[in-house]
């Protein structure tokens, strides 16, 4: 996980990818809106929206190829409404996908839907190094039904790029929700946030029984975690809640 802030210059953010993405790991997760920061609260990001084959996506794919890894990172994607692009997470590398954020951040005094369009409520799951990886974005973490939909689609890992705005209780909510999604679904959660002071930082890896394996502080950081299939299998044997569900 790369807990580094994006700036307001898309070209500068693209140029930093090559320095930030390592070559000794299967999966690299950068934060939400890494192609270009949100800017002032409530401001339009429409001028910085790109297609999923635009400059940011192209550079992301090139870096992923050169580093022999799969990279996840956030951008603003052009939509049918030119004034309200999608808040999109790209996956580039051995797998390729685009996930459009479903739940927009109309909360804690913000109205993300004023300037962004929601994606269709469809789970996006990709394969990375033999693992099934489901994609969520930031505020999505507060909606357990999305996590469960991803797991029902086969996800064993939930990856959550975020720009989790700082404030009272926000780090506690972030950690609690990440652990909850891991525990209730018996999956790994890999949550990568932008750093403080504007955002909360505290990127973390949670195992399928809810133990925090690695966590950053508020500032810029690289954080590494190792996921093992034996831990996933042990968790699902110890707590077979997915198998024990009764839906009717």
Active site residues: 32, 101, 138
H or E stretch covering 87? strand 86-92
Q: 133: burial class by Cβ within 10 Å (0-12, 13-18, 19+)? A: buried
DSSP string, 212-232: EEEE--SS-EE------HHHH
DSSP state of 162: E
What count of residues does the chain have?
248
- Which one, of 206, 149, 150, lies nearest residue 174 by Cα? 206
Edge-to-edge strand list for the sheet holding 212-215 = 125-128, 131-135, 157-162, 188-193, 204-206, 212-215
For 138, phi then psi, to 5°, come to 45, -105
Task: Tell me the C-alpha distance between 15 and 34, whole Å.
Answer: 12
Q: What are residue 97's DSSP bridge partners?
A: 91
Check: CB of residue 73 under 8 Å from CB of residue 60: yes
């Amino acid at each position: 996980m790369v807990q580094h802030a994006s700036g307001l210059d898309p070209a500068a953010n693209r140029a930093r990818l090559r320095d930030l993405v390592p070559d000794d790991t299967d999966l690299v997760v950068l934060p939400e809106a890494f192609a270009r920061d949100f800017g002032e609260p409530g401001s339009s990001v429409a001028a910085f929206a790109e297609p999923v084959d635009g400059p940011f996506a192209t550079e992301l794919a090139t870096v992923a190829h050169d580093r022999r890894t799969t990279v996840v990172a956030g951008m603003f994607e052009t939509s049918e409404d030119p004034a309200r692009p999608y808040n999109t997470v790209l996956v580039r590398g051995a797998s390729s996908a685009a996930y459009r954020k479903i739940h927009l951040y109309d909360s804690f005094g913000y109205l993300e839907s004023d300037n962004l369009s929601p994606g269709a409520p469809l789970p996006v799951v990709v394969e990375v190094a033999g693992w099934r990886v489901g994609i969520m974005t930031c505020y999505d973490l507060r909606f357990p039904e999305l996590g469960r939909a991803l797991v029902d689609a086969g996800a064993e890992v939930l990856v959550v790029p975020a720009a989790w705005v700082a404030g009272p209780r926000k780090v506690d909510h972030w950690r609690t929700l990440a652990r909850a999604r891991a525990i209730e679904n018996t999956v790994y959660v890999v949550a990568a946030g932008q750093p403080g002071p504007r955002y909360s930082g505290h990127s973390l890896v949670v195992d399928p029984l809810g133990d925090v394996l690695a966590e950053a502080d508020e500032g810029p950081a690289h954080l590494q975690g190792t996921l093992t299939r034996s831990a996933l299998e042990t968790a699902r044997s110890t707590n077979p809640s997915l198998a024990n569900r009764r839906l009717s």
